[in-house]
Structure 1
Amino acid sequence: MSHDDFKFEPVRGLPEALPPGEVILWQGEPAPWRLARESLALYWVAGYFALLAVWRVGVSSTEMPLVQALPQAIPFVVVGVVACAILYLLALIQAKSTVYTLTNKRVGMRIGAALTMTLNLPYTQIEDAGLDLRPSGHGTIAFALKGDTRFSYILCWPHVKPWRIRKVEPALRCIPDAQRVAEIFAEAAEARVAEPKLTLVQPTAMAAE
């Protein structure tokens, strides 16, 4: 029997149905492997344990033949593999519980594995956006917000621009085909911001003739 933890969502990735006139332009999620590399330092952890294994073999080889010293690295290799597997699993869980959404009016982010939350970022409240594009085509789009809008770095991590703690910038992290997504965002945001605003003016009393 299948089970969907987000079955209560009227629209996937959003807490409520779209209002009239709003349409979804794109939806996606982080690439787990890229998320593990960039937010959980997977390669640094793997390199650390590899360095420990080499160091152990080097030290042991001063007291015994190299053939006998090589097995001394096995515990470090095993622990390193387990640590990297855990990091990848965490990244996979984060990625699968995340839905990024671009509509013609806002950026929506359903994030969080244990504590799920949804961020709604209207285009009119986004001051600037930056694209960190990698050679693989994956990338991160971070949003600088206007005014005093504040988010918790800890609660939003890893879906934020790294090290921007004082003024958190929510981000679409490690998304595939990031260039195309950035273009969709730019076109939608430009159209939304340029959209004329209709202001209701109260009629004034006409002067008596």
Structure 2
Amino acid sequence: MSETGGPEHDYEPVPGLPARLPEGEYILWQGAPSSAAVSRHVLKTRWIAGYFAVLVAWNISAGLYDGRQPSEILFSSGALAILSTIGIGLMEAFAWGVQKTTLYTITNKRIVMRIGVALSATFNLPFTRIVSADMREGKNGVGDIALTLLPGDRLSWLVFWPHVRGFRKGALMPQMICLKDVAIAGNVLAAALASTRTPENAARLATPATKQTGRATAGRIIEAAE
């Protein structure tokens, strides 16, 4: 794969962007998800591996209790182990594909999300359409930034998954997922949103800050940038 994410992205004049930026607009930050974090937090591979481990242990204990032949127990347990390995391997491959084909871009006017493993698509989210941004940071610095958009934006869950958090008031929340050093992206977005504030939208963007650990609303981000 090329540095732009694959042959299908070689046409991009700037990596992650479908066209050159207009005059006066410039890139502030670019980043992609961590494949390890996508595997662990989005696809829950550790939980799935644990589930299969319990199945194998149960199969062995049940076989011994029923008096089955060791060869039968070994065969059935091996089959379960092989199936689990194949399944988890496919999920790890998907997580790798998410990392290689995704590129998030923050400019001074918008967020651009180039996403899609099987079918690549690029979405422009202007700051004027963003109501709030919610950052969640883990202990290792990896985290997500979810975006609440103005009513009227119809987005597809199937198209955006796994780059979504859920719904707020019936509207889909696009999300930049599994970012290493998510605080850096959050600070960049904070400064960019703060610089675009006007008297008309200041009240809309400046929401109360939450005190929960590892979580900040758009208001908290913007306040930190002022």
Is the counterpart of residue 152 in structure 1 residue 153 in structure 2? no
SS at match of 2:134: strand
Partner of 2:59: 56
Q: In the TM superposition, what are the counterparts of 1:20-39 in structure 2 within 5 Å?
A: 20-39=23-42
Q: In the TM superposition, what are the counterparts of 1:3-152 in structure 2 within 5 Å?
A: 4-64=7-67, 71=74, 72-152=76-156
Partner of 2:211: none
Q: Residues 133 and 70 from structure 1, CA distance in 2 versus in 1: closer, same or farther, beyond 3 angstroms?
A: farther
Cα contact 1:130–1:143 (8 A) shared by 2: yes
Structure 2 portions without partners, runs of 5+? 201-226
**Aligned Cα RMSD in Å?**
2.5
Quick one: percent identity of the two aligned structures?
Answer: 34
Cα contact 2:148–2:168 (8 A) shared by 1: no
Cα contact 1:111–1:118 (8 A) shared by 2: yes
Cα contact 1:25–1:102 (8 A) shared by 2: yes
Q: Which amino acid aligns with 2:66?
A: E
Q: TM-score, structure 2 length as denominator? A: 0.79
Question: For the pair shown, which has the larger CA radius of gyration, 1 or 2?
Answer: 1
Q: Residues 108 and 180 from structure 1, CA distance in 2 versus in 1: closer, same or farther, beyond 3 angstroms?
A: same
SS at match of 1:13: coil
Aligned length: 196
Structure 1 portions without partners, runs of 5+? 197-209
- Within 1, Cα distance between the matches of 2:195 and 2:110? 11
Between 1:153-162 and 1:3-12, the stretch displaced more is 3-12
- Within 1, Cα distance between the matches of 2:34 and 2:72? 39
Q: TM-score, structure 1 length as denominator? A: 0.85
